[in-house]
Amino acid sequence: MSDAERPIDDHVPGAEDEEFEPVQVFPEAEEMDLRPGADNCYKCSTCDTNCPVAEVDDEFPGPKFQGPEQWRLKRQEDHDIDDSVMKCSNCMRCDAACPSEVPLSQMHNTARAEYVEENMSKLSREYWRNRMLANYRRLAPLGAAFPRTANFVTGLSITKWLGEKLLGITSERELPEFATETFREWWAKRGGAQVTNPDKRVAYFHGCYANYNTPEVAKALVRVYEHFGYEILLPDQDCSGTPMFANGMLEDARRAAETNVEELAAAIRDGADVVASCSSCSMSLRQEYPELFDFEDTESVAENTWDALEYLRVHEDLERELEGTEVEGFDDFAYHAPCHSRNQGLDRQTIELMDAIDGIEAHDVGDSCSGISGTYGWKAENYETSMAIGEEMFEHMEDAPAETGLTECPTCSMQMGHGTGYEIKHTLEVLEAALVGPEAGGSE
């Protein structure tokens, strides 16, 4: 099934047939191999003009300095990584903007890891705050074990106040609630896959948030894919590593990636393709893994990983299936394409899918970044910057003839709701309502 053509961005590894020779950015970090072209920067500054952080923060030097210029300094002299690298939000828009395909985001990831290892005190509040945010997968099971208690405690004003004073986590945001039943608990209770089909088989990488916080998104994927006759495998999995990359916890990301690659590669050998419902998760598996890690089967997993909507559009006639369908309880949507979807060349697919459903229209609210960028907007020192970045998106959402938001990124969803007060849905939930109907959620 993975031999089909798929419309992905040229910057995503695995899309080209030619082999590449990795370029070592920092000599002392022997395991950190990156894409070719790291020395191809000719200082056009396109990356800087496309950087949402640089647009609102005059003190942030921008992607060009954080990547190629720091690299050149590192090659020529004993030069410490500049602490401004921690202000990079890891939106990765610079990768798509660069005309020379300089591996900017992965140079930033490598630089952050070196800065954290060599320059950040392991006793500092910032280090432990970042480590906690980066390793949400380790903390979430504690909250999920007692969800009602956890939700009550985290919703208290005193808890948010203490979180900001002691850890530097902004008190301006509402902490996400834990589901009373995780997706994997629901999956086990229903008896696993309800379709057996060795000819149509997918391994679902649900990620942390869909498991612990929004299982309705993961359930929607299951029901939509089973509607098309797919057998769904649910491999053991760790965090995709995206928050770890963004916080310079590269060894944590390596350990998570090893688990994911091992489990997903086994599913691929069993005839499955990998699908992810979170745009950051698919981006991590497809681009960041092969650029940063070189253990066995990393390339195979990257080449056989798909965004969940993208996969159905390529392998099924999804638009035709949606023609003439209607959905109850939904009106028009204000749609935001996450940066990590745009970087995969998938920014228009949701708009086109919604056009096929009768009575529904998704209004694209522009190509601006939401501003939250995973854990970035949860840090107290970044909150105002995060909201300034998201201001354009908020304004476009409020101007759109819709009062419900739509996106495929869980943290973009948080920012959209936070900035507008709108209810936010995942595209898979709309597809579930159109293709399967409202009765699907009652019996499973």
pLDDT of residue 31: 44
> Model-level pTM?
0.88
How many whole angstroms from its chain centre is CA 172? 22
pLDDT of residue 76: 57
How far apart CA 98 and CA 48 sit, in angstroms, is 10
Question: Which CA distances in Å does 31 have to 115, 120, 253, 293?
Answer: 16, 21, 13, 7
Q: Which residue has the tokens 């005839």?
A: 271
Give me the average pLDDT of each 10-residue run along the chain (444 residues). 48 48 49 51 89 92 82 64 88 90 87 91 95 94 96 96 96 96 98 96 97 98 98 97 95 96 98 97 95 93 97 95 89 94 92 92 94 96 96 96 95 97 96 82 47
Return all residues near 109 (Cβ < 8 A) that are at least 6 apart. 90, 245, 248, 250, 288, 292
Question: Which CA distances in Å does 209 have to 79, 184, 224, 228, 415?
Answer: 38, 12, 19, 25, 15
Ramachandran bin of 168, using left for φ above 0, alpha for ψ from -120 to 50, beta for the remaining angles: left
Give the chain's count of helices (H) and strands (E).
26, 10
Q: Which residue has the tokens 């070592």?
A: 24
Q: Which residue has the tokens 């056989």?
A: 304
Question: 305-307 and 201-205: which strand pairing?
Answer: unpaired
**What pairs with residue 370 in β-bridges?**
none
Q: Which residue has the tokens 């091992």?
A: 262
pLDDT of residue 146: 96
pLDDT of residue 388: 97
The strand ranges marked E within 199-324 are 201-205, 231-233, 273-276, 305-307
Q: Confirm if 13 and 302 have CB atoms less than 8 A apart.
A: yes
How far apart CA 317 and CA 136 sit, in angstroms, is 37
**Which residue, 395, 342, 393, is CA-closest to 370?**
393
Sign of CA dihedral 363, 365, 369, 371: negative
Label residues 358-397 b or e (16+ Cβ within 10 Å = b).
eebebbbbbebbbbbbbbbbbbbebbebbbebbebbbebb
Q: Which residue has the tokens 């699907």?
A: 440
**Residue 106 corresponds to which tokens in the numbers above?**
């992965």
Q: Which residue has the tokens 């476009």?
A: 396
The conformation of residue 227, written as its DSSP 8-state character, comes to: H
Ramachandran bin of 293, using left for φ above 0, alpha for ψ from -120 to 50, beta for the remaining angles: beta
Sign of CA dihedral 172, 240, 32, 47: negative
pLDDT of residue 8: 46
**φ and ψ of 383, to 5 deg:** -60, -50
Label residues 29-63 b or e (16+ Cβ within 10 Å = b).
beebbbbebbeebeeeeebbebbbbbbbbeebbbb
How far apart CA 327 and CA 442 sit, in angstroms, is 16
**Which residue, 97, 369, 56, 131, is CA-closest to 67?**
97
